[in-house]
Each structure stands twice: as structure tokens, then as C-alpha cells.
Structure 1
Amino acid sequence: MFNKAVPFVLATAMIVSVTPGSLLVHAETQENGSVSILYFNDGHEIVPVVDKLGTRGGVARIKTLIDSVAGDKIVAFGGDLGGGTLFGGVFKGFPMVEAFNKMPIDIANFGQHDFDAGTANTLELIQAARFNWITSNLTGQDGLPFGHVAPYRVFDKQGIRIGVIGLTSAMETTTQDGAVKQTGVIEAAKAAVDKLKQEHAPDLIIALTQQPVQDDKALLAAVPDIRIVFTEEEAEEQSYVYEADGGGNKII
């Protein structure tokens, strides 16, 4: 098991605890209360996986972890619940959406594998979900966010206002049917962050991304108002925390 805790301080103090397959971020201010942000991604299998690393994952384990965290919390999914495995290819993401509805989770970003069965299937996943999808850089044929989901979400918890944006790359590796377009990640992030700041003045802005860590580092360099990036997995057996901007911002 890998554990790491790092202080993350601006207007909001953050404590990050990482274990393989799970992440908890605890945010608090001196003037207000506190809120926990729980993040996971790549929900390709609904049951635990048994391999050389032992028994891992499964939606029941995620639900248990979520329930074990007391107090106000935001549960975020980083993307990829359809495709990517035989289970995903056969059931096209619907069992995962049903399970996530029951956890429940609060917000989800798209991964490219959520489009493996075509955009019509992705739209059905959106309709089946009782949680909020977001995308800041995927658009439909009308130029609006794909599926007419929000470009970002704002959570007000215990006096802490948290803005969340969603960014997805590598759309060239999924099914191409012309109904979804990947716009520039950095340009879209700048636009979403500017709008967030103007309309909501958040205490903290985070990004849910489906892109390589090197691209996350470029994102933080270009858009420093994003204080923490929750990214896609780099390895199945371990989670990582990277510091950017002299340690002020984090990639997890």
C-alpha cells in the first residue's frame, strides 16, 4: 500500500491521501468548514479484478470507501466507464452507470472509451445517469458541449466554493462518427476557468482530465488558476502525486 499526504495551501488548505485505486482530498478553511473530494477513474469492470496484484477494485469496494468518509464530500469520476475491456465492449457502460447512480457519485468527466460504442450510445449513458456529466472541450455538431452537458460545475460545501472542469484528449483513438469534436484542451480550459472566475469566484478550481501527465503539466503552466488536476491512471498498482509550479499545484 502506498500512502502520501501533502499540504496544499492557498485560500483553501488541502490534505491528499492516496492509496492504489482510491483518492481522498480534504479541503478546509479557517473561516468555514471542510469538505472531502473523492476521485476515481477507469471503471471498466464492475466486479473485483483478481490478478498478480491480488484482488482489486470493484464497485462494492468503491461504495465502501465512499461511505467510510464522514462529513460533506464530493465524489468525482474521471472517465472511461464504457469500452476498454470485454465487459465494457459487451455492456457498453450501462452497468457502470447503474452502479454509480446507487453509490451515488456527483460528477463525471468523459474518457475517450466512453465513445467506443458511438456517440448515440454515449448520449444514452448521459440520459441514464442521475449524476452530472461535464465537458469543457468536447463539442457536438452544434458547437455546444457534447450532449448539452455543462462545461463545468460549481459545488458550495461548508462555505467552500469549488469549481470543476472536465477535459478529454485522445479522441482519435475511439469510434469516429463525426458527432463529437475534441477542441484544444488548454484553450478550452482557459475559457472555462475565465467564466468560472467571472460568474462564481470559486475558492478552488480543479480539473478532471483524461490525458497524459506531461500534458497536465503543460495545462497547469498555461492555466495556473487550476490548483489541482485529477488525471487518468499511470499504473494499476500505484497512485502518484506530482507537484507543479514550485509545489503550489498538484497532479494526482
Structure 2
Amino acid sequence: MKRRQFLQSTAATGALLSLGGLSLSFAERKTKQITILHTNDVHSHIEAFGPDHNRNPGMGGVARRATLIEQIRRENPNTLLLDAGDIFQGTPFFNFYGGELEFKLMSRLKYDAATIGNHDFDNGIEGLYAQLPHADFEFISSNYDFTNTIMDGHVLPHKVFTKDGIKIGVFGLGIELQGLVNAHLYKETKYLDPIEIATDMARILKEEKKCDLVICLSHLGYDYRSNKISDVKLAQATKDIDLIIGGHTHTFLEKPEIQTNAAGKQVLINQVGCYGLYLGRIDFFMDSEKNVSANGVSITV
């Protein structure tokens, strides 16, 4: 995707969002740009869909995603690439290689971090652990307690990245596994309340780590008709989160949605469907007084 095309797509969505409010135009101040690229629920879709596919003809595929990511990184080197879980399960590639190919390709694409989805336990916690040597990126999960499991010590509760002097804190949340995944697959992994954990993680990253941006990689799901915790409920119940990158429900959003958090400020939520059909892009702009604005779009792969 060429830069001109991206700007046209962004203008069409009208997705310029103000976080915290701006009093002057960016042209009047020196600004820094941080680009967040993201995927979710790729489900082992390595190759593009065939030209005769009834729903997604010719779409997706790691090769096309790699080309897009490389073009965007050339445009803005201050880019993070993140995934919101369910990397595994969905094609024979997973059945045959057990996740090795997925992690190797993500490493070649230079993903910075991913969180863990429920299907990432489909070969058991031992199967997930066995593939970790093939992942040259961090796994971040804040509300899965892996004490007394083989994954203990191999997953971070949060991580801080620095791009162009801007500190970006990332934490991760997973969906409740009980009733969704067979207990023998996740063993003694404990699920912790995502609202409580998110509140604590966001506070640590914003106040203690002095992060300029806080991102939640969520595999909770976008929204539900029930009281089940979702990205929308998470955004409304917490503060200090700037962006929630979602997964699990395969929800496609053309642009980030805006929710109001517990402190009355705006928080963005985005999710880009499934199977690697789309690449999410969100650009944050920060001026010299650390006022923040953002725009976002979902790019067809």
C-alpha cells in the first residue's frame, strides 16, 4: 500500500481522533509519530485465500502482509507490530507443524509482541512451550498466572518499548479459559480478573514507568450482549489505557472505535477481523507538550 493510498483511506474514514484535547494544530508544533500495526486471530493462515474463494478471493497471506509492513516501516521507522492472540489453529499448517511455522514467520516479519489466545493452548501448554524457541518476539499476558506450569517465567506481564523518545507500555489480557478450553490443556494456569489486572497494569505503566502511551493487547472479545467482560467494558471501567487492540470475536472495525473511560477521557479500540485478511494501522502524533492525537484505518491485505 502506497502512502498516498493510506492517506486517502484515512481521510475517507474521518478517523482523526483527539486524546486529551489539542489547542494548536500540529503544524505549529514539532510532532513525533508512532505507528502501531496489529493483527489478531490469524489462525495459522499462512497462504492467501485462492482466487475462487467464495468470501475472501485472493485476500490475506503472510507474504502480502510482509510487503505492507515493510512499506510502512520505510515510511515511519518508529513502528511497533503487535498481535492479539489466536495465532494457532485453523489450517493444516498447524496440524502438521504444531505452531513452528507461525512463530518463525512472525519472527521474520519482526513482530514486537503478542498476547496469548485460547486457541494457542490447542496443543496443550506443553505444545505452546515447545514452540517458544521459534519466536523472536515477546509474549505478554498479565492476567494468566502461569505459576506451577511449564510457561512460568516465559511470559511478561508488561513491556515498555521506546520509539523516538516516546515510551510505549504494552500489557496483555486473555479470556477466561474454563469452559472454553479443556482443563488438561492449560493445566494449572490461573485466570485473574481482567479489570483489576488492567487497572493495575495501566497505573504501573503510566505512573511508575512514565509511559506516554499505554496499549492493551486483549483477547477478551469486542463486546457481548451479556455481562461478560469485553474490550468495550474494559475501556469504560478503567483509565490510563490509550489503545485496546482486540481479538477473539473476529470483529472487523474499519477504523478504531472511541469509548469514554472511567476518567472521562477517550480510549481507542480496534480489531481487524481474522485470518490475516486485514492489517490494523493506528498513527499516534505527540507534540512537544505531549498532547496526543491519532488516526487509524484497517488495510486490506
Q: How many residues align?
A: 237
- Give the C-alpha shift of residue 30 in structure 1: 4.5
RCO higher in structure (CA 8 A, sep ≥6): 2
The correspondence for 2:69, drawn from 66, 71, 77, is: 66
* C-alpha distance 90-236 of structure 1, shift in aligned 2 (>3 A): farther
Equivalent AA in structure 2 for residue 114 of structure 1: D
The correspondence for 2:181, drawn from 174, 190, 206, is: 174
Structure 1 window deviating more from structure 2 (215-224 vs 87-96): it is 87-96
1:35 aligns with 2:34: yes
* C-alpha distance 141-9 of structure 1, shift in aligned 2 (>3 A): same
1:231 aligns with 2:246: yes
Is contact 2:120-2:128 (8 Å) kept? yes
Is contact 1:135-1:145 (8 Å) kept? no
* C-alpha distance 144-115 of structure 1, shift in aligned 2 (>3 A): closer
- Structure 1 portions without partners, runs of 5+: 14-28
1:109 aligns with 2:118: no
- Give the C-alpha shift of residue 145 in structure 1: 7.8
1:195 aligns with 2:204: yes
Equivalence for 1:18:
none
**Tell me, what secondary structure is at the counterpart of 1:97?**
helix
Equivalent AA in structure 2 for residue 96 of structure 1: E
The 2-side partners of 1:174 and 1:135 are apart by 17
* C-alpha distance 236-30 of structure 1, shift in aligned 2 (>3 A): same
For residues 161-190 of structure 1, give each alpha carbon's deviation from its aligned partner in whole angstroms, at most 9, with x where no partner exists.
111111110423224222322211111111
**Tell me, what secondary structure is at the counterpart of 1:249?**
strand
Compute the RMSD of aligned alpha carbons.
2.8
The correspondence for 1:244, drawn from 256, 259, 268, is: 259
The 2-side partners of 1:6 and 1:119 are apart by 39
**Tell me, what secondary structure is at the counterpart of 2:58?**
strand
TM-score (norm 2): 0.70
Equivalent AA in structure 1 for residue 189 of structure 2: V
Is contact 1:43-1:96 (8 Å) kept? no
TM-score (norm 1): 0.83
The 2-side partners of 1:30 and 1:150 are apart by 36
Is contact 1:145-1:151 (8 Å) kept? no
- Give the C-alpha shift of residue 238 in structure 1: 6.0
Equivalent AA in structure 2 for residue 230 of structure 1: I
* C-alpha distance 188-144 of structure 1, shift in aligned 2 (>3 A): farther
The 2-side partners of 1:38 and 1:196 are apart by 20
Between Structure 1 and Structure 2, whose CA radius of gyration is higher? Answer: 2
Counterpart mapping for 1:100-179 below 5 A: 100-142=106-148, 146-172=152-178, 173-177=180-184, 178-179=187-188
